[in-house]
């Protein structure tokens, strides 16, 4: 079994960090673009797509800065994270997605994130 590696994707966003954070950290926000249905109870998030459910624990978060999840079926040191930064040059909001994948799957996984983030931008009106 190959070891998964961390990869990072960056997307400039036309909205405030506070609004973006709501879409990344709340069940209602995540349900708008990430999954068909999202529930949360005591830091355990349940994501449903086409009747299939997956669970992730909330690992850490800081309001308007980042949120990190761990899929319960993945290795302990693997996670996916959304972080929000501001470009010092342009003052633009930047969404950073960090995730793990096997090297040969990074391109496919990146395309999946690209699709998801486009849906997020559509919901944001960005």
Q: Over the stretch 83-105, which tens digit does the pLDDT of each residue have? A: 999 988 888 999 999 999 999 99
Sheet holding 93-101, edge to edge: 5-13, 93-101, 80-86, 66-71, 52-62, 44-49, 37-41
**Tens digit of each residue's pLDDT (9 = 90 or more) over 52-67:** 999 999 999 999 999 9
Q: What is the pLDDT of residue 90?
A: 87
Q: Is the pLDDT of residue 37 over 60?
A: yes
Count: domains in the chain: 1
Q: Which CATH number covers residue 36?
A: 3.30.530.20
């Amino acid at each position: 079994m190959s070891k998964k590696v961390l990869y990072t994707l960056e997307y400039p966003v036309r909205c405030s960090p506070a609004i973006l954070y709501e879409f990344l950290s709340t069940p209602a926000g995540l349900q708008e673009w990430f999954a068909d249905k999202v529930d949360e109870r005591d830091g355990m998030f349940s994501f449903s797509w086409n009747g299939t459910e997956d669970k992730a624990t909330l690992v850490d978060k800081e309001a308007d800065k980042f949120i990190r999840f761990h899929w319960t079926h993945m290795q302990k040191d693997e996670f996916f994270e959304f972080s929000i930064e501001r470009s010092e040059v342009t003052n633009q909001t930047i969404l950073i997605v960090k995730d793990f994948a096997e090297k040969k799957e990074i391109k496919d996984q990146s395309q999946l994130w690209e699709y998801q983030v486009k849906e997020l931008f559509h919901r944001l009106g960005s």
